[in-house]
């Protein structure tokens, strides 16, 4: 998984290394990795954020309906229908910050095998579906812009062949980021879909819109 997230071109971000976390359907952390040469090459705070994103995508998706963390942004803003959701399942700090720091991002990461909890409502978290459409957990990426985190997560899920996504807010684009929040002189406007996410840059917006074409969700054919 590390070479994949390190070498993806065209992620439209800052070029920073990232953290990646995978949880299973029960919310137990299966793996935590970083893409830089050492753990200090990534933002330290992004390790736990990646786990939050993985937990969120798993916790609020079903076999019949998928939600990425990006799909939760609009509804969790003040006056949104899910405002306060991000406070509902707090991170277990003893899991997040336990153990020796030198083990972070390695096979002995103290989060592995434990429930991390946490809710995150911006881009970078995706549910994982087998080629038969069974939801088996979630993937979280953190360390870049939220839009680039989403792009990297999407490409990684595609490479792992765990993107047989069912119905989702973006229609045929499945659980892709929906960039429908307008910028007004007063700030960000309302999302017409109710599942929108702010744009990060023109470049990342173009990449995100093209993801269902360049990396279409669904089972890959046998090799």
pLDDT in tens, 121-161: 999 999 999 999 999 999 999 999 999 999 999 999 999 99
Is residue 222 scored above 90 in pLDDT?
no
Above 90 in pLDDT, residue 30? yes
So what's the architecture of 2-213 in CATH? 2-Layer Sandwich (3.30)
pLDDT tens for 79-96 read 899 999 999 999 999 999
Output the CA torsion sign for 54, 58, 61, 63.
positive
Residue 221, pLDDT > 70, answer no
Collapsed DSSP state (helix, strand, coil) of residue 108? coil
Q: 4 falls in which pLDDT band (50, 70, 90)?
A: confident
Helix (H, G, I), strand (E, B) or coil at 185: coil
For 5, 109, 217, the CA distances from 198, given in Å and listed in that order, are 23, 33, 22
């Amino acid at each position: 998984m590390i070479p994949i997230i390190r070498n993806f071109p065209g992620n439209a971000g800052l070029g920073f290394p990232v953290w990646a976390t995978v949880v299973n359907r029960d919310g137990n952390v299966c793996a935590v990795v970083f893409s830089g040469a050492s753990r200090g090459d990534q933002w330290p705070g992004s390790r736990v954020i990646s786990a939050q994103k993985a937990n969120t995508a798993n916790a609020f998706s079903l076999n019949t309906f998928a939600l990425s963390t990006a799909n939760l942004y609009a509804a969790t803003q003040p006056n949104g229908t899910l405002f306060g959701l991000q406070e509902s399942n707090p991170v277990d700090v003893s899991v997040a910050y336990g153990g020796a720091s030198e083990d972070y991002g390695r096979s002995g990461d103290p989060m592995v095998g434990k429930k991390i909890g946490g809710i995150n409502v911006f881009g970078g978290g995706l549910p994982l579906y087998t080629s038969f459409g069974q939801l088996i957990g979630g993937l979280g990426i953190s360390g870049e812009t939220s839009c680039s985190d989403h792009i990297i997560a999407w490409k990684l899920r595609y490479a792992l062949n765990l993107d047989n996504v069912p119905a989702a807010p973006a229609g045929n684009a499945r659980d892709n980021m929906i960039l429908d929040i307008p910028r007004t002189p007063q700030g960000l406007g309302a999302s017409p879909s109710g599942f929108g996410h702010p744009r990060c840059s023109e470049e990342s917006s173009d990449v995100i819109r093209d993801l269902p074409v360049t990396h279409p969700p669904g089972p890959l054919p046998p090799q």
